[in-house]
Structure 1
Amino acid sequence: MNAPDRYERFVVPEGTKKVSYERDTKIINAASFIIEREEHTIGNILRMQLHLDENVLFAGYKLPHPLQYKIIVRIHTTSQSSPMQAYNVAINDLDKELDHLRTAFEDEIANHSSAREY
C-alpha cells in the first residue's frame, strides 16, 4: 500500500514551520498563511472568526490536495489593518473562546458530579 503513514497527518516534520506567511505582490493588504498539518476543522473556524473582523474584506481557505496535509488561508484587509494583525486577532479571540468553553464544560461536569447522589 502506498498510502502515507498516519502520523504524517498531524506531526510537523522537523525543520518545517507550523505557520508560514506569504504576502501577495499583486493586491495591497492581502496575504496567504500556510498552516501545516491542519485541515477543514481549523480552516473553517479560522475563516468564520476572520469574518467577524470589520477590517477583513475577504477570508477563505483551501485544502490544496487530500494527500498534502496543509491548508492555505487567504486574508484581504482594509488599509486600517494588515493580514498579519487580522490573523493574530482571530487566533487570540479563538484561544479565549475555547478557554471559556473548556472552563464552562469543566464547571458543568463538576456541578453534575456533585449533584449526583448514590
Structure 2
Amino acid sequence: MNAPNRHELFVLEDNENALEVTEDTKIPNAATFKIVKQDHTVGNMLRAQLLAMPSILFAGYKVPHPLHPYFLLKIQTDGTTTPQAVFEAACTRLIGTLGGLETKFKREFSFKDATAGDAHAHPVGGMGMGMGEDAYGGGGGAAWAGGRDYLDF
C-alpha cells in the first residue's frame, strides 16, 4: 500500500522539527506554521482557540495531503501582537482547556464508580419486578417513576 507505517505518523525523526514558522511577505502581520506529525484534530482545536482571540483577523488550517502527516496553520493578526505570540497563547489556552476537560472527565467517572455499587445490589430490571411491570420500570406502560418515559435521557 501507499500508506506510511503507523509509527511514522506520530513519532518524530531525529532531525525533524515539530514546528516550522514561515513569515508571510505578502500579507502584513501573518505567518504560516507547519505542524508536523499532527492532523485535523489538533488543527481544528488550534484554529478555534485562535479565532476566539480578539487580535486575530484570520486563522485557518489545511492538510495538504492525507498521506503526509502535517498541517499548515495560517495566522494573521491586527498588528497589536505577532502571530508567534498569539500561537503560543492559543497553545497555552488549549492545554488549559484540555486539562479542565480531563479533570471533569475523571470526576464524572469517579461519580459513576461511586454509584455503580447501587446497581450491583439490584438485578437488571430494578428492585423486584412485580406483576404488570415491564423491564423499564413502568407499571405495564413505558414510564418510570416521576412520569418520565424510558427514552428520556
Same fold, TM-score > 0.5, yes or no: yes
Task: State the TM-score bracket (shorter-chain normalisation).
Answer: over 0.9
Structure holding more helix per residue: 1
Larger strand percent: 1
Higher-RCO chain (CA-CA 8 Å, sequence separation at least 6): 1
Report what 1:4 is aligned to: 4
- The 3 A distance-change label for structure 1 pair 116 and 2 is closer
2:80: which partner in 1?
A: 80
Q: How does 1:26-37 map to 2 (within 5 A)?
A: 26-37=26-37
Cα distance per residue 1:53-75 (max 9 Å; x no partner): 11000000011111211000000
Aligned to 2:21: 21
2: CA distance, partners of 1:99 / 1:48: 17
Percent sequence identity over matched residues? 38
Compute the TM-score of the two structures, normalised by the length of structure 2: 0.73
For structure 1, the residue ranges without an aligned partner over 5 or more in a row are none
The aligned counterpart of 1:115 is 115
Task: Confirm or deny that 1:54 pairs with 2:54.
Answer: yes
TM-score by length of 1: 0.94
When the two chains are superposed, the root-mean-square deviation of aligned CA atoms in Å is 1.1
Residues paired across the two proteins, number: 118
Q: Which amino acid aligns with 2:66?
A: P
Q: Which runs of 5+ in 2 are unaligned?
A: 121-153
